[in-house]
Amino acid sequence: MTERTSRKLMRVLDGEAVWPQPIWLMRQAGRYLPEYRETRGRAGGFLELCYNPDFAVEVTLQPIRRFGFDASILFSDILVVPHALGQKVWFEEGEGPRLAPIATLDDVKRLGADKDPLEHLAPVIETVRRLRAELPSETTLLGFCGAPWTLASYMIAGRSTPEQAPLRLAVYRDPAFVIGLIERLVETSIRYLVAQIDAGADAVQIFESMGTSLPPSLVETVSLGPLRRIVEGVKAERPQARIIVFVRGGGHLHRLAAAGFADAVGVDWQTDIAAAVARLPEGLPSQGNLDPLALVAGGRALEEGIDAILAATRGRPHVFNLGHGIEKETPIAHVEAMIARVRGA
């Protein structure tokens, strides 16, 4: 058996219905783990943690040591890309990310003008390289980036905003500015993902976390079109690459699936999994979609949520996961119970 075929998640991405299903969790390295909180305290700050390969490797490995997940996802943040392009990014404790907003096409033209963003991201790529050497051979290593629409929402508003109103206003008022920004992000994302693959990532995931705010008339222009160009750009350079696309906002899931460029589609927790997979093209791998709060609650809610996903996806290629990132209040015992139930099905 080759290393690739020993990695259950990679077999799913190649279209195999593996049972028990491989399992990993979005944000599986994070604040719900005491060892993560201790390491972050030693790192001195969130971005310092992301850019220090010693610390980043450690926190990426922590959930693998504790839970034995089938995949490990690089510990980093989607906002390292705007940061690498020269935008000021910082994190306020308890409040999340802050950025110095950009507002014009001239601002876009200045992005990345002073330094190659891949030079700035070299420590992240080094983390990927070390992880592949340190992970168990059967564990899939996932890299990732944020989708252009999602990144643009932070870059224009300077923070997370309800329903991404500043970005939506900008795309209506000054489409050339927004489209120019998205194109810059497409170019950088292709290079970033290729670098992660070259460093040892088995597959990569693109996070369209702000998909719930997408107006239907703009989905193709600002989301699906850019996502397609990233996937096609990566595969033009690395044809063997496997790419998962996660769009938060179930209303666009089937447009994504029908577009045919993703190797697997993530399903968010707001989507009925049985109805979703019934409409997916046969053989298209899926991933998700347990409600993160069901995992916080535990007990019957957790068991019923798990069982519904397993029943809907048995016999098709599916990766068990949450429908969004794990919550910091999640009890470790609930994660253990979830893993046992999925693997014991």
- Verify whether residue 154 is a known catalytic residue: yes
What CATH number does the domain containing 196 carry? 3.20.20.210
Q: Which member of 40, 191, 255, 343 is catalytic?
A: 40
- Verify whether residue 77 is a known catalytic residue: yes
- Verify whether residue 172 is a known catalytic residue: no
Q: Which domain holds residue 50?
A: 3-343
pLDDT of 38 higher than 90? yes
**pLDDT at position 6, please?**
83
Give Cβ neighbours of residue 222 (< 8 Å, ≥ 6 apart). 148, 149, 152, 171, 178, 179, 182, 214
Give Cβ neighbours of residue 34 (< 8 Å, ≥ 6 apart). none
How far apart are the C-alpha atoms of 28 and 4, rounded to whole Å?
22
What is the total count of domains within the chain? 1
pLDDT tier for residue 162 given thresholds of 50, 70 and 90? confident
Q: Which member of 7, 27, 229, 316 is catalytic?
A: 27
**pLDDT at position 34, please?**
98
pLDDT of 1 higher than 60? no
Digit-coded pLDDT (tens) for 69-100: 999 999 999 999 999 999 999 998 778 899 99
Q: Which two tokens stand for residue 129?
A: 């390289």
**pLDDT at position 254, please?**
87
Considering the entire predicted model, what is its pTM?
A: 0.96
- Verify whether residue 291 is a known catalytic residue: no
**pLDDT at position 215, please?**
85
Q: Which member of 14, 54, 77, 174 is catalytic?
A: 77
Digit-coded pLDDT (tens) for 192-224: 999 999 999 999 999 999 988 888 899 999 999
Q: Which member of 154, 168, 263, 316 is catalytic?
A: 154
What's phi and psi for 2, nearest 5 deg?
-75, 165
Sign of the dihedral defined by the CA atoms of residues 331, 336, 339, 340, in that order? negative
Alpha-helix runs per DSSP H in the chain? 3-6, 8-13, 34-43, 46-51, 53-67, 80-84, 105-110, 117-120, 122-134, 148-157, 165-173, 175-199, 219, 225-237, 253-259, 273-279, 292-297, 299-313, 332-343
In the numeric block, the tokens 């290079």 are attached to 191
Q: Which member of 4, 31, 129, 238 is catalytic?
A: 31
Q: Kindly report the average pLDDT of the chain as a whole number.
A: 95
Digit-coded pLDDT (tens) for 298-309: 999 999 999 999
* Residue 39 CA from chain centroid, whole number: 22
**pLDDT at position 250, please?**
67
Digit-coded pLDDT (tens) for 95-147: 889 999 999 999 999 999 989 999 999 999 999 999 999 999 999 999 999 99
**pLDDT at position 4, please?**
64
What's phi and psi for 230, nearest 5 deg?
-65, -50
How far apart are the C-alpha atoms of 318 and 314, rounded to whole Å?
8
- Verify whether residue 27 is a known catalytic residue: yes
